[in-house]
A and B are shown apart, each in its own frame.
Chain A
Amino acid sequence: MNELLQTISPLFPELVVAVTASAVIVVDASLPRERASAALPVLTVVGLLVALVGGPAVSAQGTYFGGYVRVDEFAVFFRTVFLLLAIFATMVAPAYLDRKRVPAAEYYATVLFSTIGAMTIALSTDLITLFVGLELMTIPVYVLAGMQRHDRFSNEAALKYFLLGAFSSALLVYGFAWLFGLSGSTRYADIARTVASTGMSDAATIVALGLVTAGLGFKAAAVPFHQWTPDAYEGAPTPATAFMSVAPKAAAFAAILRVLVSGMGPLAADWATVFALLAAVTMSVGNVVALVQTNTKRMLAYSSIAHTGYVLAAVAATGAGAPAGAAVLFYVFAYGLMNLGAFACLLYLDIEGTRGATLDELDGFARREPLGALAFAVFLVSLTGIPPTIGFVAKFFVIQPVLDAGFTWLAVVLAFNAVLAAFYYLRVVVHMYMYEPEGALPPVVSPRLLSFSLALSAAAVVVLGILPDSLYAWALAAAGPILP
Chain B
Amino acid sequence: MSYDLVGVILFAVLAIGIVGAGIGVVLLDRITASALLMAFTFLNVAGMFVLLGAETIAAFQVLIYVGAITVLILYGVMFTPQRERAYALFFQTQWPWAALVVAPLGIGVALVGLSFRDRATAVPAGGDLDALATSIFRDFAFPFEVASVLLLAAMIGAIVLVRRDD
Docked-complex contact A129 and B157, CB < 8 angstroms = no
B102 to chain A, nearest CB (A): 13
Docked-complex contact B160 and A147, CB < 8 angstroms = yes
Docked-complex contact B149 and A113, CB < 8 angstroms = yes
Whether B112 is near chain A, meaning CB under 8 Å from some CB there, is: yes
CB neighbours (8 Å) of A133 from chain B are: 143, 146
CB neighbours (8 Å) of A120 from chain B are: 143, 146
Docked-complex contact A203 and B115, CB < 8 angstroms = yes
Docked-complex contact A146 and B150, CB < 8 angstroms = no
Whether B94 is near chain A, meaning CB under 8 Å from some CB there, is: no
What 0/1 readout, one digit per residue, does chain A (47-86) give for beta carbons within 8 Å of chain B? 0000000000000000001101100000000000000000
Whether A431 is near chain B, meaning CB under 8 Å from some CB there, is: no
Docked-complex contact A129 and B154, CB < 8 angstroms = no
Docked-complex contact A203 and B149, CB < 8 angstroms = no
B residues 123-166 touching A (CB-CB < 8 Å): 138-143, 146-147, 149-150, 152-154, 156-157, 159-161
Docked-complex contact B142 and A207, CB < 8 angstroms = no
Docked-complex contact A139 and B150, CB < 8 angstroms = yes
Report the tally of A-B residue pairs with Cβ distances under 8 A.
Answer: 84
What 0/1 readout, one digit per residue, does chain B (82-114) give for beta carbons within 8 Å of chain A? 000000000000000000000000001101100
CB neighbours (8 Å) of A69 from chain B are: 142
CB neighbours (8 Å) of B115 from chain A are: 203-204
Among B108, B116, B150, which residue has its beta carbon within 8 angstroms of that of A136? B150
Q: Which secondary structure dominates chain A's binding surface? A: helix
Docked-complex contact A116 and B146, CB < 8 angstroms = yes
CB neighbours (8 Å) of B150 from chain A are: 113, 117, 132, 135-136, 139
Docked-complex contact B161 and A143, CB < 8 angstroms = yes
A66 to B144 Cα, complex, angstroms: 14
Docked-complex contact B141 and A181, CB < 8 angstroms = no
What 0/1 readout, one digit per residue, does chain A (133-152) give for beta carbons within 8 Å of chain B? 10110011011001101000
Whether A103 is near chain B, meaning CB under 8 Å from some CB there, is: yes
A65 to B138 Cα, complex, angstroms: 8
Docked-complex contact A204 and B116, CB < 8 angstroms = yes
Among B109, B142, B153, which residue has its beta carbon within 8 angstroms of that of A110? B153
Q: How many residues of B are in contact with the other chain, CB < 8 A?
A: 25
Docked-complex contact B147 and A132, CB < 8 angstroms = yes
A147 to B159 Cα, complex, angstroms: 11
A225 to chain B, nearest CB (A): 15
Docked-complex contact A181 and B116, CB < 8 angstroms = yes
Say yes or no: A132-B116 contact (C-beta < 8 A), given A106-B156, A143-B157, A146-B161: no
A103 to B157 Cα, complex, angstroms: 11
Among B139, B147, B153, which residue has its beta carbon within 8 angstroms of that of A68? B139
Among A11, A135, A139, which residue has its beta carbon within 8 angstroms of that of B157? A139
CB neighbours (8 Å) of B157 from chain A are: 106, 110, 139-140, 142-143
CB neighbours (8 Å) of B138 from chain A are: 66
What 0/1 readout, one digit per residue, does chain A (335-367) give for beta carbons within 8 Å of chain B? 000000000000000000000000000000000
Of listed B142, B147, B157, residue having the most chain A CB within 10 A: B142
B20 to chain A, nearest CB (A): 23
CB neighbours (8 Å) of B154 from chain A are: 139
Docked-complex contact A65 and B142, CB < 8 angstroms = yes
Docked-complex contact B147 and A110, CB < 8 angstroms = no
Interchain Cβ contacts under 8 Å between A and B, 30 examples: A11-B142, A22-B152, A65-B139, A68-B142, A106-B160, A110-B156, A113-B150, A113-B152, A114-B153, A116-B146, A116-B149, A117-B150, A120-B143, A120-B146, A128-B143, A129-B142, A129-B146, A132-B146, A132-B150, A136-B146, A136-B153, A139-B154, A140-B153, A143-B156, A143-B157, A143-B160, A146-B161, A158-B161, A184-B121, A203-B111
B interface residues, Cβ below 8 angstroms from A = 108-109, 111-112, 115-116, 121, 138-143, 146-147, 149-150, 152-154, 156-157, 159-161
List 12 additional A-B contacts (Cβ < 8 Å) besides A65-B139, A106-B160, A110-B153: A21-B153, A25-B156, A106-B157, A109-B156, A110-B160, A113-B152, A116-B149, A129-B146, A133-B143, A140-B157, A147-B161, A204-B112
A-B CB proximity, top 3 nearest? A143-B157, A113-B153, A136-B150
